[in-house]
């Protein structure tokens, strides 16, 4: 039986955490980020991993920083873990910490490494219009997602899947995979395969400012942008100066021989829906939301909010 410490913060980590708890091994502690202000009221809110740990009566540690925190480091040494498992923890860990467990520290990453190292692999793979992704379990080293690969599994991306939906499927896959990886560790430390750094790609953190739709891009690029930023931070545009969140769209075949400026509304009726010209191609906005309202179909929106053909969306 292995003594395991788990490090993670958001919902993505929960299936793997649950899998460890349900294994034959001992989950001795959970490490997560500190509680943060959240929402309009800025209420101090615990991360999902802490909520899970407290519900399951697992000791929780929330250091502001791991690097340079000798008191915390000694606390973890005193727990004598055999293995540390991380998933979306949110800090780069120093070599001194990685050396604590004799079997090492392993990380669950939502991409087929070495592609999409970094903070937003789920969103970036959709932004890039890829049709496959996956989960990699790697040994941690002092680099960002650079360690040897222990185990990896591919997953096909559905054509209309958004980041939230893909996140949930990858999290479920991660939970299944960590159970298999723990079986490997029962026989000793499994060998990892070095990554080919020449094939590495990186993705940066997703920011709220990325949400506005740039109609000069192609219909396919805009559709991928909407999928990647749904549900958070959300893709949006403006109709007659009013902000409109776009939840779902589709690339459309729409017969017209005329050239239209990007963002021009080509059709807005209860038969064809809300159809917009892009830099290249045509897009239908299929699901949207006005501020303070609920998500609705374009057909439902148009019943109460007529949109004139020929106007341009955006600022």
pLDDT classification of 256: cutoffs 50, 70, 90: low
Q: What is the pLDDT of residue 159?
A: 95
Residue 258 pLDDT > 80: no
Q: What is the pLDDT of residue 257?
A: 63
Residue 297 pLDDT > 70: yes
Q: What is the pLDDT of residue 39?
A: 80
Domain 208-304 falls under CATH 3.30.565.10: no
Q: What is the pLDDT of residue 252?
A: 85
Phi and psi torsions of 276, nearest 5°: -130, 140
pLDDT classification of 259: cutoffs 50, 70, 90: confident
CATH 3.40.50.170 residue ranges of the chain are: 3-203
pLDDT digits (tens, 9 = 90+) for 95-151: 999 999 999 999 999 999 999 999 999 999 999 999 999 999 999 999 999 999 999
**DSSP line for the chain:** --EEEEEE-SGGGHHHHHHHHTSSSEEEEEE-PPPEEETTTTEEE--HHHHHHHHTT--EE--S-STT-HHHHHHHHHH--SEEEEES--SPPPHHHHTSSTT-EEEEESSSTTTTEES-HHHHHHHTT-SEEEEEEEE--SSSS-SPEEEEEEEEPPTT--HHHHHHHHHHHHHHHHHHHHHHHTTS-PPPB---GGG--EE----GGGGB--TTSBHHHHHHHHHHTTTTT-EEEEETTEEEEEEEEEEE-----S---TTBEEEEETTTEEEEE-SBSEEEEEEEE-TTS--EEHHHHHHHS---TT-B---
* CATH among 3.40.50.300, 3.40.50.170, 3.40.1050.10, 3.30.70.360 for 3-203: 3.40.50.170
pLDDT digits (tens, 9 = 90+) for 38-96: 887 889 999 999 999 999 999 999 999 999 999 999 999 999 999 999 999 989 899 99
Task: Tell me how far apart the alpha carbons of residues 26 and 314 are, in angstroms, rounded to a whole number.
Answer: 54
Cβ of 212: how many Cβ atoms within 10 Å? 16
Task: Tell me how far apart the alpha carbons of residues 8 and 16 are, in angstroms, rounded to a whole number.
Answer: 10
Question: Do strands 282-289 and 273-277 pair parallel, antiparallel, or not at all (unpaired)?
Answer: antiparallel
CATH 3.10.25.10 residue ranges of the chain are: 208-304
Q: What is the pLDDT of residue 42?
A: 86
Asked if 238 and 313 touch (Cβ cutoff 8 Å), the reply is yes
Mean pLDDT for 195-221 is 95
Asked if 47 and 33 touch (Cβ cutoff 8 Å), the reply is yes
Residue 220 pLDDT > 90: yes
Residue in the structure block whose two tokens are 């239209």: 260
Residue 254 pLDDT > 70: no
């Amino acid at each position: 039986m292995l003594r395991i410490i788990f490090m993670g913060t958001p919902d993505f980590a929960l299936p793997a955490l649950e899998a460890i708890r349900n294994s034959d091994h001992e989950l001795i502690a959970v490490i997560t980020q500190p509680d943060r202000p959240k929402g309009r009221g800025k209420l101090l809110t615990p991360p999902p991993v802490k909520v899970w740990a407290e519900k399951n009566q697992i000791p929780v540690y929330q250091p502001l920083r791991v690097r340079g925190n000798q008191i915390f480091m000694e606390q973890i040494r005193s727990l004598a873990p055999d293995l540390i498992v991380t998933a979306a923890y949110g800090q780069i860990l120093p070599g001194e910490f990685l050396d604590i467990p004799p079997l090492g520290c392993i990380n669950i990453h939502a991409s087929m490494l070495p592609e999409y190292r970094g903070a937003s692999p789920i969103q970036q793979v959709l932004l890039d219009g890829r049709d496959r992704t996956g989960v990699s379990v790697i040994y941690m080293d002092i680099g960002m997602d650079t360690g040897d690969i222990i185990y990896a599994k591919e997953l096909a991306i559905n054509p209309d899947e958004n980041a939230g939906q893909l996140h949930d499927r990858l999290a479920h896959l991660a939970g299944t995979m960590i159970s298999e990886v723990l079986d490997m560790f029962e026989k000793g430390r499994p060998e990892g395969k070095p990554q080919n750094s020449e094939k590495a790609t990186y993705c940066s953190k997703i920011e709220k400012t990325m949400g506005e739709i740039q109609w000069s891009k192609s219909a396919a690029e805009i559709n991928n942008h909407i999928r990647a930023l749904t549900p958070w931070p959300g893709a949006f545009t403006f109709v007659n100066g009013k902000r409109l969140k776009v939840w779902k769209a589709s690339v459309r075949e729409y017969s017209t021989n005329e050239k239209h400026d990007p963002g021009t509304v080509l059709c807005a009726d209860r038969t064809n829906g809300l159809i917009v010209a892009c830099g290249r191609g045509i897009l239908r906005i299929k699901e949207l939301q006005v501020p303070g309202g609920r998500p609705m179909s374009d057909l439902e929106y148009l019943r109460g909010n007529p949109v004139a053909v020929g106007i341009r969306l955006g600022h």
